Structure 1
């Protein structure tokens, strides 16, 4: 028995909707990558260090690790790998890649290059972003079970060597 025209129409509509969602997801992913790269490289340019390049394998690691935090959304770093890592958590879904990077870069106000010290609660997110020898970055954003945004960036080679200046 041949499929009815209604069945064909429904299947066509489903395929169309799936392709639209795939195109939207790809566009959203490209926009998120663009935000991550532009925000990182703006901070790096301000201190005269070379721009970072996007690394899909680092982004994949960031996504895998972020998914491990989906249930508890805990601000806990991954362990055992030779990557630098920044983690951001914000209540709700609205947080963007740019928001996370800008929060890390805001630590610049506490970093004192001349003495290579930090007068605030933390400067290591900022110093990782501007670490001269870091070349690659990959990031991910997930929504935790509690509705919060969990954003992770991985860096290679990592920075924040004790006693060394970032740039």
Structure 2
């Protein structure tokens, strides 16, 4: 599938500024649980995702590792197929209790408040979407309509959300745009996003955390105007 020249121009700008992708999480190590308990495995976050404004209200999702294909004028025909769902009853999706939902919203909204972004409300559709996806115990993005942040190996949602936000220290507000090293932060504080829904799942080697955002952030255009308007420096 060939991409229109306007989108390719945007992609070329992104490729030039993107940092190297993070290696995917290895969930095949049978000793990972013990290693994690001993502090030998570091918590991690997945590569961020963004959306290219394709015009006429259409947005094409991409991950930072797809920049190279975009530069060649190609777009993935399909997302990688999800692995077989885990069948062990020990590893179950966790419907979040009210207090945890409240903490997720409070943490997001505190970081958003620092940057002058309006508070988020809870999105049950987004939460259920994430919970259904996590049945696969796959540390990869869904490729759905939502903006999305993923993390694994963290103690709880507050530490995962903080890891996403802490990318602010690498973001250059004088050169706004999508970068592999800061895409989680920009989604967290994206002003036009109004709701979030999250889920977690205890998998064989990790607990995986997912948050889905609507409307999606990280919208990329040739002039990065979306980033300029939605990601502003800390005000407080």
User: Could you say whether these structures have the same fold, taking a TM-score greater than 0.5 normalized by the shorter chain as the test?
Assistant: yes
Which segments of structure 1 move beyond 4 Å, counting only runs of 4 or more? none
Between structure 1 and structure 2, the one with the greater Rg is 1
**Structure 2 residue 110 is matched with structure 1 residue 50:** no
Q: Match for residue 137 of structure 1?
A: 196
**Structure 2 residue 97 is matched with structure 1 residue 32:** no
1:89-135 CA deviation, whole Å, 9 max, x = no partner? 016xxx2111111110010101111211578x510101001111000
Structure 1 CA distance for aligned equivalents of residues 128 and 200 of structure 2: 11
Instruction: Tell me how far 1:75 sits from its aligned partner.
Output: 2.7
Structure 1 CA distance for aligned equivalents of residues 212 and 135 of structure 2: 14
Unmatched runs of 5 consecutive residues or more in structure 1? 1-24
Unmatched runs of 5 consecutive residues or more in structure 2? 1-93, 232-236
Structure 2 CA distance for aligned equivalents of residues 118 and 127 of structure 1: 8
Instruction: Tell me how far 1:32 sits from its aligned partner.
Output: 1.3
Structure 1 CA distance for aligned equivalents of residues 118 and 177 of structure 2: 23
**Quick check: 2:178–2:218 contact (8 Å CA) kept in 1?**
no
Superposition pairs of residues 1-167 of structure 1, within 5 angstroms: 29-69=97-137, 74-79=138-143, 81-90=144-153, 95-117=155-177, 122-146=181-205, 148-162=206-220, 163=224, 164-165=226-227, 166-167=230-231
Matched position secondary structure for 1:150: strand
Q: Match for residue 78 of structure 2?
A: none
Of Structure 1 and Structure 2, the greater helix share is in 1
Instruction: Tell me how far 1:50 sits from its aligned partner.
Output: 0.3
Number of residue pairs matched by the alignment: 132
Structure 1 CA distance for aligned equivalents of residues 218 and 133 of structure 2: 21
Instruction: Please give the root-mean-square deviation of Cα atoms over the aligned residues, in Å.
Output: 2.0
